[in-house]
Amino acid sequence: PERLTPVRRFEPMLSMSTVSEDGCSSLASPWGLVEPYDFPDTGRGLRCVRAVAEGEELLAVPLEECWHEMAARRAPELAALADASLSETDAIALHLLLERAKGDGSERAAHLRSMPPVYDSTLFWSEAELAHLRGSDWLDLARRFAEELEADWAALQSQPAVAALLSRHGLGIEAYRWAYATVKSRAAEVGMGDEKKRLLAPRFDMFNHSTAVAPGSSHGYDEARQQLVVVAAAPYGAGEQAFISYGGASNGSLLLGGGFALRRNRFDAVEVTLTAKCDARRWLLLMMLAPEAPPPSQEEPPNFEYLQAPDQEQLRDGPKPFVTRHLLTAANPLPPALLAYVRAERLSDVELEAYEKKAKAAGTPLWEALRSPAPLDAALDLAALAALRRVLADKLDAYPTTAEQDEAFLDKAEPDAGAAHETAPLPAEAAAARRRWLATALRAGEKRILAASLAALDPLAEARVREVVRLAAAQAQSCRKAGAAWRQLIGRRQASLEAARPRVVAMYERIEAGSLAGGDKEGALLAQTCASFFLLLEGRDAHPLAHATAYLPAACPLGGGGGGEGGGEGGG
C-alpha cells in the first residue's frame, strides 16, 4: 500500500533551470513548481504553476521536514521510551499523535491540518461494508490487515511505559488507527543507503497516483542533498495535475492501504494457488517447470512464486505438498507456467511413467514437454484444461454479482472525489456509497481478468477436442483406404476396448469434473463430439456436410470443414 520506490540510488534528470551550480535546488517556493488544487475527478492534488518538461524537478522536501523513524525516536517523549519495542510504523504513528495533541503549538501543525481526518482504508470499514468484497481474496486480507493493527495496538498497551504515555494523552485505538492509516497511505518508502525507510513528507503527500507513471520513476531520496525529490514523469502544461506512481499496486493494495481504487488498474491481478503432491521422483520435474526469472522491474509484478517447495532431504519421510502461486493479469491472463503445473499435477504415477518414456524417446526433458504449447496427449491435456477452467469459473461464480451488474453500477454511481472528503468526514450514507463503489471497482477488475483467462482457455479446449476426434478420423480414413469400415475395426477390438474401459471412464470423470466451456457451449461441445463419433461409425465423416453438424467448427475436423479425406487436418 505504501508509495514504493525501489532501493537504488536516485538519479533525477533535473532541468538546469531548477538546479544551481552546487547541485542544490534553486526553486524559490517550498512548493517548487506545484501548488495545491481541488480537482473534480481526483479530489485534492497538485497542479503545475507553469509548463514543465519531462524530467524537470517538481518538488524537493528536505529530510528535516519529513516524519521518519529517526526523527520520531529523537522526540523527547519517545526518546524516553528507548527500551520500548517500537516498529518503524509505530514510532512514526506515535510521533504523529503526540504532535497532533499539541494543536497549533506543534511546529508541524500546518502539515497535520492538511491530513485527512478519516480514510477509506478498509481499516475503517464495517462488516457490512467489507461484505462488498465477498468473492475476492482481498476480503480475507482486509480482515487480516485489521487484525494486525489490533495486534500492534495490544503490543503497545502491553508495555507499561508506552501504555502510560498513551493514557496521559488520552490516546485510544481509534486515534492509533488514524495514525497507522496515515503512515500506511501517505508515507513514501524510499531507498536510503542499502535500506528501505518510510518518509512522510509535507507537500509531497498531496501528489495523486497514476498508473501511466512508471513505478520507481517519479520520486526518490537524493542522498547527496538529503531531500525527497519529485520529477515530472511527463510534460505538463500550466495548471495541469502532476502525478507520481505509488508503485505497481493493484486495486486491492490501493484500497487496503490508501483507501481508494481506480476504475481500471493495469496492475490488478488474480492469484491462483496450486498444490501438487511432491515425492522424490517428481521433485526435479516440479522444480524445473518454474519459468525463468524475469529481469528486475516494477512495471509488471512477477507472476510466479514458490510458496512451499520441499527439499530432497524432507522428502525422505514421504511425499510433501509443493505449492506455487501464479498471478493472472490483464496483460498475461494465462501464464504458461500455470498450465504447465496444472498438467504436472494431473499426472498419475502410471501416466507420469508413460510420459517420461515418451519425452525420452523424443529427446526432450519432460518439463519442457509439459511447458510446450503442443501437449503430449490430447485427452490428458483436455482433463488438465477442464480442471483449470473449473477453478477459474468457480472463482468467478464466488462473487455475489455478475460482471455486467458491476460495470452497470460503476457507470451510474461514480463516487464523489471532491475536496470535502479530504477536510471532513462524509455523511454516513455517502461514505457507505463510496465504499461500495470502491469494492465494486476492485471486484470488476478481477472479473475482467478471470473472463480473459477463461476466454484464453476456450480455444485450447476446442483444439484438444478437435485433436481427439482427428485421431479417430485418421484411423477411419486408413480403414477406408484398406477397403474396410472403421466400425468393423472397432468390433474386432472389442476385447481391447473393454480392457481399457476403467482408464477411459476415469479420464471421462476427470474431464466431467472440470469445465470445458461456459454456459451452453459445454453441452454443445459434448453433443457435437458424440455426433462426430456416430458419423465415424457410419462412415459419414468424409461427407461434405459432416462439418455442418458442428456447433463449434473449430473443435470439429470432419467433412467439408477440412477433415475426412484430407486426413482430419484443417479448420472450419
For each of the domains in the chain, give its residue range(s) and CATH number, in order of start. 1-67+187-259 (2.170.270.10), 85-186 (3.90.1410.10), 269-376 (no CATH), 403-566 (no CATH)
Pairing of strands 3-4, 188-192: parallel
67: phi then psi, degrees, rounded to nearest 5: -85, 130
DSSP characters for 542-553? TSTTGGGG-SSG
User: 168 Cβ partners below 8 Å, 6+ apart?
Assistant: none
SS3 75: coil
As a whole-number percent, the residues of the chain with pLDDT over 90 amount to 73
- pTM for this model (two decimals): 0.88
In the chain, the N- to C-terminal Cα span, in Å, equals: 49
Question: What's the chain's average pLDDT?
Answer: 88
**CB count, 10 Å around CB of 132?**
21
DSSP characters for 387-433? HHHHHHHHHHHTSSS-HHHHHHHHHH-PPP-STHHHHSPPPHHHHHH
The Cβ-side half-sphere exposure at 500, using a 13 Å CA radius, reads 9
Q: What pLDDT, on the 0 to 100 scale, is given for residue 255?
A: 96
Q: What pLDDT, on the 0 to 100 scale, is given for residue 16?
A: 33
Q: Cα separation of 237 and 50, whole Å?
A: 6
Cα 486 vs. chain centroid, distance in angstroms?
50
Nearest to 326 by CA among 314, 335, 317: 335
Query: Quick one: average pLDDT of 208-236?
Result: 94
pLDDT tens by residue, 481-492: 999 999 988 889
pLDDT tens by residue, 442-483: 999 999 999 999 999 999 999 999 999 999 999 999 998 999
562: phi then psi, degrees, rounded to nearest 5: 125, 0
| Residues 37 and 290: beta-carbon distance below 8 Å | no
* Bridge partners (DSSP) listed for residue 243: 208
| Residues 250 and 265: beta-carbon distance below 8 Å | yes
Q: What pLDDT, on the 0 to 100 scale, is given for residue 572?
A: 30
Q: What pLDDT, on the 0 to 100 scale, is given for residue 42?
A: 87
| Residues 313 and 281: beta-carbon distance below 8 Å | no
259: phi then psi, degrees, rounded to nearest 5: 75, 25
Could you give the dihedral angle defined by the CA atoms of residues 212, 217, 219 and 221, in that order, rounded to the nearest 10 degrees?
160
> Which strands, in side-by-side order, build the sheet including 227-231?
57-62, 227-231, 219-222
Nearest to 13 by CA among 46, 52, 51, 54: 54
Q: What pLDDT, on the 0 to 100 scale, is given for residue 501?
A: 92
The Cβ-side half-sphere exposure at 80, using a 13 Å CA radius, reads 9
Q: What pLDDT, on the 0 to 100 scale, is given for residue 9?
A: 35
Q: What pLDDT, on the 0 to 100 scale, is given for residue 426?
A: 81
3-state helix, strand, coil in the chain (%, to 5): 50, 15, 35
19: phi then psi, degrees, rounded to nearest 5: -130, 130
> Model confidence at 15, in pLDDT bands (50, 70, 90)?
very low
> Model confidence at 382, in pLDDT bands (50, 70, 90)?
very high
User: 210 Cβ partners below 8 Å, 6+ apart?
Assistant: 243, 244, 245
pLDDT tens by residue, 326-379: 999 999 999 999 999 999 998 989 899 998 998 889 888 999 999 988 888 899
Comparing 72-76, 290-294, 416-420, which segment has the lowest mean pLDDT? 416-420
**CB count, 10 Å around CB of 347?**
22
SS3 78: helix
User: 488 Cβ partners below 8 Å, 6+ apart?
Assistant: 479
Q: Cα separation of 214 and 459, whole Å?
A: 34
Q: What pLDDT, on the 0 to 100 scale, is given for residue 418?
A: 44
pLDDT tens by residue, 404-446: 999 999 998 776 554 445 667 788 888 899 999 999 999 999 9
Longest Cα separation, the chain: 102
Q: What pLDDT, on the 0 to 100 scale, is given for residue 570?
A: 35
